[in-house]
Amino acid sequence: MDFVSGEIFAIDKPLGWTSFDAVKRLRGAIQRRLHVKKFKVGHAGTLDPMATGVLVICTGRATRQIEGIQSGVKEYVATLRLGATTPSFDLETGIDARYPYEHITLELIEEKLPAFRGKIMQVPPLYSAVKVDGKRAYDLARKGKDAELKAKPLEITALEVLEYDPPLLKLRVECSKGTYIRALARDIGESLGSGAHLTALRRTRVGDFSAERTLSMEQAAALIAHASLEFPDWYEQNKKTE
């Protein structure tokens, strides 16, 4: 493997890991394999800690492809819990309000979903990495401070019901870069005259990278540890001196 010219890993990010956790794990594996103190590794599109699924990680010069990769269409399978909201719009925080959901039928859901397809405007969650006056919104949220976030344009190319077993609603979503599925859950809940938050989220595709062809963190680390190196000149010049 040529980590300097660039390798691309499609990882199945575990539940509870941040995207940075995954990058750090693979960067460490590469540094140990090459005996270097520093190495460039990045990911193509943040995945929330409470989400699982496709996380594309690039090494070396392949990090130049990150912008192009993360601009591709993303696909998710999202499970919404109707009738309750949380400040983070997922399970990172506890329920803060409850609403009736008994009136929500599959017919009502199908009636409301078209409003969320196509090009729409979306207000990001307060628990997000969006910057407000130079500070991350989630830092303000965790300190109990309110911030006004501006709506941003995005496109949802597909939105369909996979299963409805009240109060749980499972959806398949195809969307553009910058879409917050947590915010989509919030908005769908409101449109149904109720509230909603995510109880599960899995990213199944990023551009050409699909969940069926991902590696676990352990598999990726093992692959790196046993890889045949293809750049001995660079390796000899940059390895740590013993």
Which residue reads 């859950």 in tokens? 185
**Options 2, 12, 21, 48, the catalytic residue:** 48
Q: Is 48 an annotated catalytic residue? A: yes
CB 72 within 8 A of CB 62: no
List residues bridging with 8 in a β-sheet.
58
Which amino acid is it at 150? K
What contacts 24+ positions apart, CB below 8 Å, involve 146-150? 149/123, 149/124, 150/123
Q: Which residue has the tokens 């090009």?
A: 119
- 89: region left, alpha or beta (phi > 0 left; psi from -120 to 50 alpha): left
What is residue 49's DSSP assignment?
T
Of residues 101, 80, 85, 79, the one with CA closest to residue 194: 101
Supply the residues annotated as catalytic: 48
